[in-house]
Structure 1
Amino acid sequence: MESVRSEADAQQEPSSSSGGMRQVLALALSLSILQIGFGIIMPIFPFYIVELGVGATELGILAASFAIARIVLAGPLGRLSDRVGRKPVLIFALVGFAAANVIYAFANTILVMIAARMLEGAVSAGFFPAANAYVSDVTTVENRGKAMGYLSMGSNVGFVVGPTVGGIMAQFLGFRLPFIIAAGATLFTLLLILVLIHEPDRHDATREMDTKPAPSLREVFGCNRKAYSVLGFAMFTTMFSIGILEVAFMIDAVVRLGITPIEIGAFFGIMGVTMIFGSVIFGSISDRAGRTPLIVIGSFIGTIAMFMFALASSFFDLALAGLVLGIGFSMRGPSIQALIADLTHPRSYGVVMGAYGAVSNSAYVVGPLLGGYLYDQQGTSVVSLILGAWVATAGGVAAWVGLPMSTKPVCETIESESSGENGSQASD
């Protein structure tokens, strides 16, 4: 397998040069515009739910419907991006995003909103794994953490500009117009993808996808079963905590703390600024110091942030907790994505990213549903947030115990050691 990876790395080398990094930056720019559209509507959902006369449980169902659609389609669309290419899947997904936002704008019942949310989840199941796989296609182990950091930075720009603009618009223009603007931002992203992004020149084996099936997940995960499993658990704990926060705490912030749409937008903006700079800084650090230490530390910082949210009593407390959470996310997120890519043969990036998308979305089903239910039962988000804190801690402990500290792909490390042992035995 080492020789196969060596051939793949050799053929990837041209794409992994400055030209490959330019493609990553173009994709990051496109993703930032898309996430601005997402960000515009983020401060609106809690108020929209209150306007429709439903509670936290319904908001949890709305969030979970997005994740359920992604679970069903993440694997098939990830495999599709391996077969037909990354760019066609990205384009298809963007058309769906625009349609979902138009439906949101005219929704007058929770059922219509759930339908739009499921459509959004379905197409996002293709977009984000394909984007991550694209970065893996055009980078090497040496610069992949930095590239994933750029992609995260592009995504996080949307969480600075989008929620701030969306909060202001919701405050003064109502809750529906921002969805139309989000649809427009999505169509602009589609134009950028069409013009700036080129299908990567992948390994020869990937050019035979239409006649040669991709390896099964069992084959892909067989070499690094323990590391893949721990990464899946770490990703699950991250998304579970996010789901708790976005449903239980956001409703609590509106009802108990009296937070306005502008303040919710500012909260996401503060967290986004932190993640913009943190993703690039910590992504580069992970290339030098290793992925695992940052995953572990980021998980424990996330635990601290969840307790801070539980104790928050003002907007200042909310903003400070968001700052801490942003640091934790920017350490953990790019490092997890880069380590997954390190462990995976280029020909299987799409299906692997799709599988991990299913894992994270499973957590985003459980977290919002449980968070919404507990909030409606308790009348507060404190219990949910403490639960989220302990789950984040479990993810950090699992990463500490179960992930490799080496920055090299585990398969290469194992095979290099095996080759060394065989060589020494032969010399003996």
Structure 2
Amino acid sequence: MDKSMQIFTRLLQVLRQRAVWTMCVVVFTADVVSGIVVPTFSLYAASLGASLALIGLLTSFNGLTSIVASVPIGLLSDLRGRKQVLAGGMLLFALSSAFYTMVPNPWLLIPVRVMGSLGMIAVFMVGVAYMGDVVAKEDRGLAVGLYSTAMGLGFTVGPAAGGLLAERYGYRAGFWLAAGVALVGFFVALWGLAPKQRQPAGSTPVTTVPMATRLRLMAQEPNLLAASLANLANNVVFTTVFSFVPLFAASLTIGQAAIGSMFAGRALASTVARLPTGLLTTRIPSKYLMISALALAGLTLMLVAQVDSPAALAVLMLVDGVAFGMYLTAGQSFITENAADLDRGTAMGVYNTAGSIGGTIGPFALGILAGVVGLAAVFRVTAVVALAGAVTLWLLSARGRNTATTPQESATADFSG
């Protein structure tokens, strides 16, 4: 009981910090915006005359933009400060949401989609690095738990508000609401986020280390490599669930309303799991929580391939939500705990890029597989990917060590496990 009270007290102390709760408000507004835009975007594009092929292309730009831009944006936040990048990301959210309402034809949605994707990277990814900057190392798991919970709550509110407005007043009304919410987040970021901290005296300036050298050194770190490969596997699981479980549910004669409720329950389970996972990182190393989450996701998908009952599938989606919430929080905590202060944004960029590769390539490859051998095989293959990610994380992270031998190397990597 004493230890539990101590952890709860620490949680309150972390939450009382202006730099922390302000970031939680910012990421909440960002995910409200995402929650408004994401569910209605394809329908809006279709209303403008977009073909299914164009809608698929527009959807893929999220992953493609993330693959290309995650590391540069992370590096920019290391060099120029997180606050400027985060505020800029919220401004991109606001502008892209407003521009959606102004395009005269669906092809012009492409540059606006890229703008919104850049905003997502700048806020969601850099926000994690920011949390690692403003709290003590032993509190980073708690801070990331709060952060990811705020994200989940935002994505719970956004679809409800956006769907209601779209139904009553049209899609553009929802996008204007998203733009307004994003502007609130922008001004909150300018007002409350902590500015870039001064570099400690005697440390090696990051700008003296070429970007290619920094990335090469970081890629050689077993812990970062392990976490990135695990994130690739986790995103394959995530996109498989959202791409193919609805089709599988429909084959079980589950109606659209029930499928929607099933995924709403999954989202709630994911959100509920995040803060407890952050609390657990104070007692259990985050990499073990990541391994447990991937293993749970893999076993869940193995069972999905076997079920023929709507109730059983709904329960498994709740379990998958818990696994995703655990992994999201533990994975982000792992990076913030292990990355050097001067390179945390770049490390998050590498981690995010790997996840985006999994989320972009996975659905395409698994879609081909589904057409050949059926949906059940897709779930089994994805389960193997998840379990392989867990094993890879276990094996590679066991080799984690601090390989820095020069001041420049020390400035670029600190994944000592």
* TM-score tier after normalising by the smaller chain length: 0.7 to 0.9
Residue 229 to residue 207, structure 1, CA distance change in 2 (3 Å): closer
Check if 1:391 corresponds to 2:382.
Answer: no
Deviation of the 1:64 alpha carbon: 2.2
SS in 2 for 1:216: helix
Instruction: Report the counterpart of residue 407 of structure 2 in structure 1.
Output: none
Equivalent residue for 1:71?
67
Q: Which runs of 5+ in 2 are unaligned?
A: 1-12, 404-417
Partner of 2:138: 142
Name the CA shift for 1:211/1:181 in 2 (closer, same or farther; >3 Å).
same
Instruction: Output the TM-score relative to the length of structure 2.
Output: 0.80
Alignment of structure 1 residues 319-398 onto 2, 5 Å: 319-371=314-366, 377=371, 381-398=375-392
Contact 1:64 1:365 in 2 (8 A): yes
Report the counterpart of residue 288 of structure 2 in structure 1: 293
153-162 or 166-175: which moved more? Answer: 166-175
Matches of 2:394 and 2:176, distance apart in 1: 44
2:174 corresponds in structure 1 to 178
Count of paired positions: 389
In structure 2, what is the Cα distance between the partners aligned to 1:97 and 1:256?
38
Q: Could you list the runs of 5+ residues in structure 1 that have no partner in the other structure?
A: 1-16, 413-428
Aligned counterpart, 2:216: 218
Answering whether residue 50 of structure 2 is matched by residue 82 of structure 1, we say no
Counterpart-to-counterpart distance in 2, 1:82 and 1:206: 18
- Residue 62 of structure 1 aligns with an amino acid whose one-letter code is L
Change (3 A) 1:288 1:59: farther
Segment of structure 1 superposing worse, 88-97 or 268-277 = 268-277
Decide whether the 8 Å contact of 2:235 with 2:359 is kept in 1.
Answer: yes
1:230-281 residue CA offsets vs partner (Å, 9 max, x unmatched): 1111000111222233334456667985754x66664444233222331111
CA contact (8 A) 2:74 2:349 kept: yes
Once the 2 structures are TM-superposed, how far is the Cα of residue 41 of structure 1 from its aligned partner? 3.0
Q: CA deviation at 1:92?
A: 1.3
Equivalent position to 1:99, from 86, 95, 100:
95
Q: Counterpart of 2:410?
A: none
Structure 1 position 369, deviation (Å): 3.0
**After alignment, is 187-196 or 213-222 more displaced?**
213-222
Bigger shift: residues 124-133 or 190-199: 124-133
In 2, distance between residues paired with 1:369 and 1:86? Answer: 34
Q: Distance in 2 between matches of 1:62 and 1:88?
A: 28
CA contact (8 A) 1:23 1:197 kept: yes
TM-score normalised by length of structure 1 = 0.78
- Name the CA distance, whole Å, in 2 between partners of 1:62 and 1:254: 25
1:288 aligns to what SS in structure 2? coil
Q: 1:46 and 1:255 mapped to 2: Cα distance? A: 23
Alignment of 1:178-197 (within 5 A): 178-197=174-193
For 1:285, the aligned partner's letter is L
SS at match of 2:138: coil
Structure 2 residue 221 is the aligned partner of structure 1 residue 230: no
How far did residue 298 of structure 1 move? 0.4
Change (3 A) 1:350 1:205: farther
Q: Do the aligned residues in 2 keep the contact of 1:164 with 1:269 (CA within 8 Å)?
A: no
After TM superposition, the structure 1 = structure 2 runs for residues 241-320 of structure 1, keeping only pairs within 5 Å, are 241-250=237-246, 259-260=255-256, 266-307=261-302, 319-320=314-315
Cα shift at 1:292: 2.2
For residues 240 and 67 of structure 2, the distance between their equivalents in structure 1, rounded to whole angstroms, comes to: 18
Q: Which residue of 1 aligns with 2:235?
A: 239
Q: Residues of 2 paired with 1:290 and 1:33: CA distance?
A: 30
